[in-house]
Chains A and B, each alone.
Chain A
Amino acid sequence: MAVPIGLGGAVGGRLLPEGIPARFFGTAVLAHLLAWLGIIATADALPGFAGGAGPVLATLHLLTIGVLVMTAMGASLQMLPVMLARPAPPARACNAVFVLLLAGGALTIGGFAATDGRAIAAGALASAAAGGLYVATIVRLIGDAREPAGLVLHVRAALAALLAALAIALAISVNYHHAILGDPLRWAFAHATLAAFGFMGLLALGFATVLIPMFAMADPPPEAPITAAFRVVAIALALALAGIAAGHRWLIAAALIAGLAGVGLHLRAMARSLAGRMRKRLGPEFVLIRAGWIALPAALLIGLAAALGLAPATVPMLFITATLFGWLLTLLMGVLQRILPFLASMHSARSGGRVAAPAKLTDERALRAHRWCHAAAVAALVAGLALDQPWLVRTGGIAGALGAVAFAWFALTVSIRTRAHMRAGPAVAPGRTT
């Protein structure tokens, strides 16, 4: 006797209610647009930015908290249970993480924009609560899982980095009222390093070991080179933090060189995995994924030039931009354009009928428009910062905003088509899912 494939059973147990990832991703899509608008608004101040609360820091946190962290948390809460074959975390916990992160992000960003210390402190507190709850939820979800080893290793380290980044953020927010930190800028660098390379970076590297082979229909990279790459990257992070703490330029340079080596090992393992792929013609998402992979070592080289004092004054901001926009945002957009219709397709099985084909949920025109705009935006932004030309930065912001609109159009299309598919209801006999 045929029985339903079980969206109410084991599969359903690994799948969150569709509203939860939609909330995280929807917020990220909106924040993506706001971040590029922020670039337009702060174009004059961006090249010379040297830290401190203000509109530039608000814009950067629109990207980091609003887009990167929001997406990372939403995606991991939904995808880790499937990857690890574990039950999905409680919906209440996920919703609480979302609400706290949304509130924390809004207060932090608003506080930075208005230079309001109380709002910044409240935002940091709410964000730390969101992060703490998220870490507890993921730790419970992972449990004693050891496979896939590369993924589990990276996620655990990313969680530790997130906790450290949040603790420093809290300390910095307190420092606005009571001077408890000796050199706030140094702590801000440590926070940024832990958040961008520790949490987001390690999560991106770990998820890549499962998601990229899945996208390309390839075998995952072997454990040994991925573990070796992880160790080198972890050493690089430790060196960077030590260098920042000690204010030692050469230690930071050594960290960046170690980071380049670790990234090289990781990318080599990924390239080998992709070389044996089954899907010979990779999807368009790989344009952005590969561009993100190129941007990462490029960002590290820019950082190295800055650490060694070999570059103009705007290079630190160039390093931050290449890391956040060039690497993390580009990679994330590439992954998102694949997993949004993919997740929607999985959720469509809840209707009890056919699973919606991801290709039919996707509007390729919107994605194409986004890719061109994103490429132009990052190129103009980097050029504007390198040449200290605010008009180029502003042009990049305009292109990025147009790309963000195109991406929002794509996300909306996925949502509308999925709902239409699910409204159509069961179209096949019970037990059939596709």
Chain B
Amino acid sequence: MTEQRSGNGDRPRSDAPGGGGLSAETRLAELLAARPELDAVLRSLDPGGDAADAPTLAAFARTLGLPVAAVVAAMTGALPEACARLAETGAADSEGTVSEPEPAWLAEIEHADTVLLDVRPLIAAGRDPFLAVMTDAGRVPPGGGLIIDAPFDPQPLRRVLAGRGFATWARTVAPGHVQVWCRRTDAGAAADTLGAAADAPGAAPRIWADGERLHIDVRGLAPPRPMTAILRLIDQGRHRGEIVVHHEREPLYLLPELADRGWSAETVPGAPGEVRLILRRGDG
């Protein structure tokens, strides 16, 4: 999400969520001014930032191809009053039901190679599940599966996964519970988990979480991929803590880009032949 959303200091209108109401016409700037914790929920719905400039909740949903009710439902953990209103009207059920024909590959998913991930508690807690999904997606072997339990059909996330070599299929299990089945195709096994060209073997940085720290290993990538991978991670704005970079050389071109973004870099001891950096927002 953009700063326009989270950094807006406008006073919320009386009918804005902070004041109790929530509708398709709710202005996102006002919503986030009143409930800044919802920014993480919006980020999880829009991993690529496609709807970053959407002024209203309806425009946000329309840009992402999501039902408005699904967007509202995603906020239910932080907005129980809205959930109650939706449950009363039945809007979530009518708009949020997913019915897609079963693909043939569904039967081929080996349970031994399937990773299960329930992101509903994360979203309900106002946390961004994107990194959890990407981390688990990175563990899936070719032909293996990933099953994500979500409160809605996460179309934008499915597009991101498709770009990284996953076929996806979704079904509604119950109101407010959608299960997304993902299968990693062979072609996608070597794809860059941060969006590198799929025809570039070995072009995938490895990303994993370690407590509050996020690690990215860019060793073996040809320039400028290490830099773009690291900056992509920073610019996504999902991780506010430290980022540990595992590099094979000191990233000279990265330093000006970090400076422009207000980040600092520090070297720490790493493995032999490794240059390890810790990146922090501001001066650390």
Contact = CB atoms under 8 A, between A and B. Distances in A.
B196 interface: yes
A6 B275 CA distance: 10
Interface stretch (A8-16, A243-251, A363-371): A8-16
Given A217-B231, A219-B192, A222-B197, A434 B223 contact: no
Given A15-B252, A345-B255, A354-B259, A433 B265 contact: yes
B254 to A, nearest CB: 9
A133 interface: no
Kindly name the residue among B225, B256, B275 whose own CB sees the greatest number of chain A CB atoms within 10 A: B256
Interface stretch (B85-93, B119-127, B266-274): B266-274
Interface residues of B, number: 39
Contacts of A341: 256
Contacts of A214: 224, 227-228, 253
A433 B255 contact: yes
A284 interface: no
A272 to B, nearest CB: 9
Contact of B250 (A9, A148, A217): A9
B267 A358 contact: no
A82 B251 CA distance: 9
A11 B227 CA distance: 15
B3 interface: no
A357 B259 contact: yes
B228 A10 contact: no
Max chain A Cβ within 10 angstroms of own Cβ: one of B227, B248, B264, B277: B264
Given A278-B231, A278-B232, A355 B258 contact: yes
A433 B249 contact: no
Interface in B230-266: 231-232, 235, 248-250, 252-253, 255-256, 258-260, 262-266
B195 A3 contact: no
B258 to A, nearest CB: 5
B284 interface: yes
B200 interface: yes
A11 B250 CA distance: 6
A250 B269 CA distance: 64
A224 B198 CA distance: 13
B110 interface: no
26 contacts: A2-B266, A4-B267, A6-B250, A147-B222, A148-B222, A148-B223, A210-B224, A213-B224, A214-B227, A217-B231, A219-B196, A219-B225, A224-B199, A341-B256, A354-B264, A354-B283, A357-B259, A358-B259, A358-B260, A359-B260, A428-B283, A432-B264, A432-B266, A433-B264, A434-B263, A434-B265
